[in-house]
Amino acid sequence: MIFNQQQSLHKELSRYRALQKTIGFVPTMGALHTGHLSLVEKALSQNGIVVVSIFVNPTQFNNASDLQKYPRSLDQDVKLLQTLNGVVLIYAPKPSDLYGKQVISKHYDFGGLENPMEGKFRKGHFDGVGTVLNLLFRAIRPDKAYFGEKDFQQLQVVRKLVQLEKLPVEIVGCPISREPHGLAMSSRNNRLSDTQFEEAGLIYQTLKEVQYKFDQYSVTKLKDWVQKQFSKNAHLELEYFEIAIAKTLKPAVRKRSGNTYRAFIAVFAGEVRLIDNMALN
Ligand code: PAF
């Protein structure tokens, strides 16, 4: 069932609440792929009912052309969700239904999680993500919400958001779904040419190699090595590669024992921006 307005969604949800059903929530920007469907399946396995929001959130885009070109395929998305077993409600609002008259971000202090990597290269991005999720959580009041680890920084920011906003929702992180050659699944992959798609396998191969080399080499050496890998590829341009402490997301300069590290990468394939990350130790 598809809802464009909070009012009718609330009504439907209160029916399920009265039956003591728990509500799982999967927020998306549509152009659904297998990765999204695995989140919805997990949510269905743990809840009485699942809400999937489909909303391309304008306030989290720092680049107008990226927002304009973001893939949109609502009819196809609805069809895909209908193939799943279980009750899935789709919430696909217009900006005014969520935001009211002013489609603007609230400003958040996520304790530094918002500053490096995606925060550095996409100014205001996490204020936009925090704002829309706060509105969605308040509209849906889910028991659990499901996020993919492809956006690992976003996942950490969301955990902080629910603390700051005192939202009674459990955040569940889910493993990255990958294409056979390793590329992390993303709605943006739809915009890649066949060559770009094939070449983008280098992102995963590089992360795997860094994971393998992590014990033997310094952070600086690993970063230099990654730069070189991408400078040799005519189809991909490295935007950043960082090794950061998984919990705080602070970029590491030197490895310290006891810390858990993760590698983070953003790469352009033509105009299409791809991100990925991987646990290192
Ligand atoms: O990860 C996304 O698709 C978006 O950032 C989210 C969580 C749906 C918020 O707009």
Residue 28 lies in a domain: yes
Number of C-alpha atoms within 13 angstroms, CB side, residue 53? 29
Q: Which two tokens stand for residue 157?
A: 């920011």
CATH number at residue 74: 3.40.50.620
Q: Are 176 and 149 in contact (CB under 8 A)?
A: yes
Q: Does one domain contain both 59 and 124?
A: yes
| Active-site residue, 107 included | no
Residue 141 lies in a domain: yes
CATH number at residue 209: 3.30.1300.10
Atom of ligand 1 nearest to the CA of 151: 1
Q: Does one domain contain both 122 and 66?
A: yes
**Alpha carbons 200 and 266: distance in angstroms, whole number:** 11
pLDDT number for residue 263? 98
Residue 144 lies in a domain: yes
Q: Does one domain contain both 53 and 147?
A: yes
Residue owning the nearest CA to atom 7 of ligand 1: 27
- Name the DSSP letter for residue 251: B
Substitution candidate for ligand 1 out of 36, 106, 129, 275 with most atoms within 8 A of CB: 129
Residues in contact with 31: Cβ distance below 8 Å, sequence separation at least 6, in sequence order? 70, 71, 72, 73, 77, 187, 190
- Give the length of the chain: 281
Q: Does one domain contain both 134 and 211?
A: no
Last residue of a domain, one of 126, 143, 174: 174
Residue 39 lies in a domain: yes
Residue owning the nearest CA to atom 2 of ligand 1: 28
Q: Does one domain contain both 25 and 104?
A: yes
pLDDT over 90 percentage in the chain: 100
Residue 182 lies in a domain: no
Q: Which two tokens stand for residue 188?
A: 């943006």
132 Cα to the center of ligand 1, angstroms: 8
Whole-number Cα distances in Å, 95 to 16, 57, 128, 162, 256: 26, 8, 13, 22, 45
Residue 180 lies in a domain: no
pLDDT number for residue 255? 95
- Structural domains in the chain (count): 2
For 132-156, write each residue's pLDDT tens digit: 999 999 999 999 999 999 999 999 9
pLDDT number for residue 201? 98
Q: Does one domain contain both 107 and 217?
A: no
Measured CA angle at 223 (ends 219, 224), to 5 deg: 120
Last residue of a domain, one of 174, 208, 227: 174
pLDDT number for residue 205? 98
Q: Does one domain contain both 164 and 203?
A: no
Atom of ligand 1 nearest to the CA of 57: 10
Nearest Cα neighbor of 120 from 29, 251, 263, 222 is 251
For 72-126, write each residue's pLDDT tens digit: 999 999 999 999 999 999 999 999 999 999 999 999 999 999 999 999 999 999 9
Pocket of ligand 1 from Cβ distances under 6 Å: 27-29, 57, 60, 129, 132-133, 151, 154
Last residue of a domain, one of 174, 201, 227: 174
Range of the domain at 106: 2-174
Nearest Cα neighbor of 223 from 265, 267, 258, 189 is 265
Residue 134 lies in a domain: yes
- Report helix, strand or coil for 10: helix
Say which residue the tokens 């809802």 belong to: 3
Query: Over the chain, what is the mean pLDDT?
Result: 97
Read off the pTM. 0.97
27 Cα to the center of ligand 1, angstroms: 6
Q: Does one domain contain both 161 and 22?
A: yes
Helix (H) or strand (E) segment spanning residue 25? strand 23-28
For 202-240, write each residue's pLDDT tens digit: 999 999 999 999 999 999 999 999 999 999 999 999 999
Q: Does one domain contain both 18 and 137?
A: yes
Residue 60 lies in a domain: yes
Q: Does one domain contain both 152 and 22?
A: yes
Q: Does one domain contain both 213 and 136?
A: no
Mean pLDDT of 27-37: 97
Q: Does one domain contain both 168 and 220?
A: no
